[in-house]
Amino acid sequence: MAKYVINTLNRKSKINREIYGHFSEHLGRCIYGGFYVGENSPIPNTKGIRNDVVEALKKIRIPVLRWPGGCFADEYHWMDGIGPKEQRKKMINTHWGGVVEDNSFGTDEFMELCRQLECEPYINGNLGSGTVKEMQDWIEYLTFDGISPMSELRAKNGRKEPYRLKYFCIGNENWGCGGNMRPEFYADMYRRYQTYVRNYGNNKIYKIACGPNSDDYNWTETVVKIAGRFMDAISLHYYTVPGTWHSKGSSTKFTEEEWYITLFKTLKMDELITKHTAIIRRYDPDNRIGLVVDEWGTWYDVEPGTNPGFLYQQNTMRDALVAGINLNIFNKHSDKVVMANLAQTINVLQAVILTEGEKMLLTPTYHVFDMYKEHQGAELVESFIETEKVGTDKYTVPNLHESASVNADGKLHITLCNLSLSESYRVETEIIGKKAENVTGRILTGKMNDHNTFDAPETVKPQTFDKISVTQNGLVIEIPPVSVVSITVD
């Protein structure tokens, strides 16, 4: 029997709602056909935005949405996407599929999407191919309340009042698709560009710098050392790729060894957060600079027969475990991680929603976000679980993975993952500082490659979890293999 201790008396840090954020790029069918179908579409919509998608994302309490990229951000010129749609410039999306981008979804449409979702907008500015003036004008267009050329242009386009914009990132992956820059050069460019990302009126922008790819610790150290005092946070990108970048592996046809390889690689997120934040603290002893993991998730080979530049992939119980593990990690590091954004929301990479014409389905990853949503805004509490190693000769992972929090109403929320493909575990849970009385649970489980399709959209969905018994000191939980469990103790 595994021992699990939760100390509700030791409150660690607030779990920012934004940790449960999402990411939308002009890539494949994320925006067009995913979020946006246009006002003349037969698919039910409000101002061109799909009603079913909005309803689904509001259910999981989407807190923040990142846009327009991604690599697309550093070739996006925002003025091409405002004004009458028939007059907007068309462009070639050179990064993703070589398709024509008609700019029918632009700044005002994105802000309307966030209004409907009731979430914070997070905009990624163009440092790679854009000018300082272009970035300055974008902020003025969005947030200036007064008489100016950009505020007058906004009013001409139908919006007199300024928007509220909290999050803005200066550049994306500028070590790669955003300009192939050295960290010293980017740091100086960041200092220059951020100067013109101004706060107008009561709008206060949280400035985010482009951070490293995975374990490029030199990038983090150099950028923070040179430009740290001008930023509120720095980003981190890390994808879970079972194979190599040239042969990533199938999203649905994988072996037991590939299951454990995937989970082994996704657990590296804990090490990355620990090491990058340790570097940041050398130059920020007051713990002012936050970490924003604004691209994370699985990345496989695209589905057969689809455009390789659209990054469309299926989503199985393996992805559910990846989501549960990473969200637990972010919860555990909530004193450092201020935001995280899963890549990407719809039809791209580890999506929470897939669409096909008028059809829409929810992926296993969506259901994990739904099960974990009670952590949003709660306080992380101290917890520890005994684990053993499972896996293959080469790749082993802990059998169990968890986090726990207490919300403002005093309810304890526990999320627990069983990474084993074959073994169930009996978990003796001691809860310090709270008596277990009313206990409810949900479980997401199945075979390792179970997934939802448009013909069978509910193959994987949460069920009531009743393998919980109340004891004098807490709970006994019996968790089956390949599963994610959420428990509420009132």
Q: Which amino acid is at 447?
A: K
Measure the CA dihedral 100/106/109/110, to 10°. Answer: 110
Rounded to an integer, what distance in angstroms lies between the CA atom of residue 240 and that of residue 263? Answer: 8
Closest CA to 130 of 193, 85, 67: 193
DSSP three-state, residue 350:
coil
* First-residue to last-residue Cα distance in the chain: 25
- Give buried/exposed letters for 155-189 (b at 16+ CB in 10 A, else e): eeeebeebbbbebbbbbbbbbebbbebebeebbeb
Closest CA to 361 of 318, 303, 296, 315: 315
486 sits in which H/E element? strand 483-489
CB within 8 A of 369, min separation 6: which ones? 20, 60, 323, 327, 342, 352
295 annotated active-site: yes
Residue spans of beta strands (DSSP E) within 78-217: 91-92, 100-101, 120-125, 167-170, 206-209
Rounded to an integer, what distance in angstroms lies between the CA atom of residue 378 and that of residue 372? Answer: 11
258 sits in which H/E element? helix 256-266
The tokens describing 204, both together, are 């206060």
Q: In whole angstroms, how far apart are CA 338 and each of 64, 188, 294?
A: 12, 24, 10
Cis peptide, bond prior to residue 344, ω within 30 of zero: yes
| Angle at alpha carbon of residue 240, lines to 238 and 241, rounded to 5° | 120
Given the residues 18, 75, 140, 173, select the one marked as catalytic: 173
Cβ neighbours around 471 below 10 Å, total: 12
55 annotated active-site: no
Q: How far is CA 178 from the centre of its chain?
A: 20
Closest CA to 212 of 125, 287, 279: 279
- Give buried/exposed letters for 70-81 (b at 16+ CB in 10 A, else e): bbbbbbbebbeb
Rounded to an integer, what distance in angstroms lies between the CA atom of residue 416 and that of residue 405? Answer: 12
Given the residues 101, 295, 374, 402, select the one marked as catalytic: 295
Instruction: Give catalytic residues, as residue numbers.
Output: 173, 295
